[in-house]
Amino acid sequence: MNTSNPHPALDLPQPPLLCRIGVGVLGLFVTLSALPWIYYTLGHFGGFDWGFFGFEVITAVAGVFAILLGLGKFREGWAIGTIAIAGSILVGLVFGLYVGFIQAKQSDFPDLASLAKITFLGRLATIGAFAVLASIAVFVRNSESLPFLIKSALCAIPIIAISALMHFNIGPGAWINTTLASTSGNGAIQAVLTITLGLTFIILISAAGHLLIRAYEMGRPSQQSESTSGS
């Protein structure tokens, strides 16, 4: 009679050392980048800015988890965990630094504008680097994940390109900004443009996320391998 455990513990190999070091170093940067803003939210802006404070704390905690991943504390779901950390940093970046300071306070505190820009761009680059390192770790474990990684990147590139053009107000991005901000234009055009952009972003983000998760699932040993290891 077979008395082996039907769900044996997986003895997963560690992700490549380069990936772990990279994630750990990036986590340290993210954590340190949150500390000045946590300090400023305590009273520098005329009182305790609890919303901004909360998102920076989330960012700092995400950085700590990235450090733990870099130290090899977690093996199963390493790539998805890295992406989850990147997503947490992105949420904190948008609703904390961008909305809480760049949009609401930058004009009142110009002395912090340079720090805000450096922090913002640095965290965006960090998020991208997390995705690259997680993808490398999955590819090393299972090269069949590559097509899914490529398809996910192809879905993400248009989002990045449109966002960059709108942010720097150049080319089609400048036209989109002008059309959406116009108070004398045709409301129907603005509505159609808003809906089109929204649906495009939702579809592409959903597709990119699905393909990325599918690729990262392939980094897990197959059921056959699990059965063999438990026999």
CA distance 133 to 83: 10
Count other Cβ atoms within 10 Å, centred on residue 133.
Answer: 25
Residue 227: predicted pLDDT:
40
How much is the average pLDDT of 174-185?
76
Confidence of residue 103 (pLDDT cuts 50, 70, 90): confident
62-88, pLDDT tens digit by residue? 999 999 999 988 777 788 889 899 989
129-166, pLDDT tens digit by residue? 998 998 888 888 778 888 888 888 898 888 888 888 88
Q: Which two tokens mark 106?
A: 């930058």
- CA quadruple 122, 126, 132, 137: dihedral, nearest 10: 150
Residue 42: predicted pLDDT:
94
Locate the domains of the chain by residue range: 10-141, 145-231
Between residues 128 and 141, the one the model is more confident about: 128
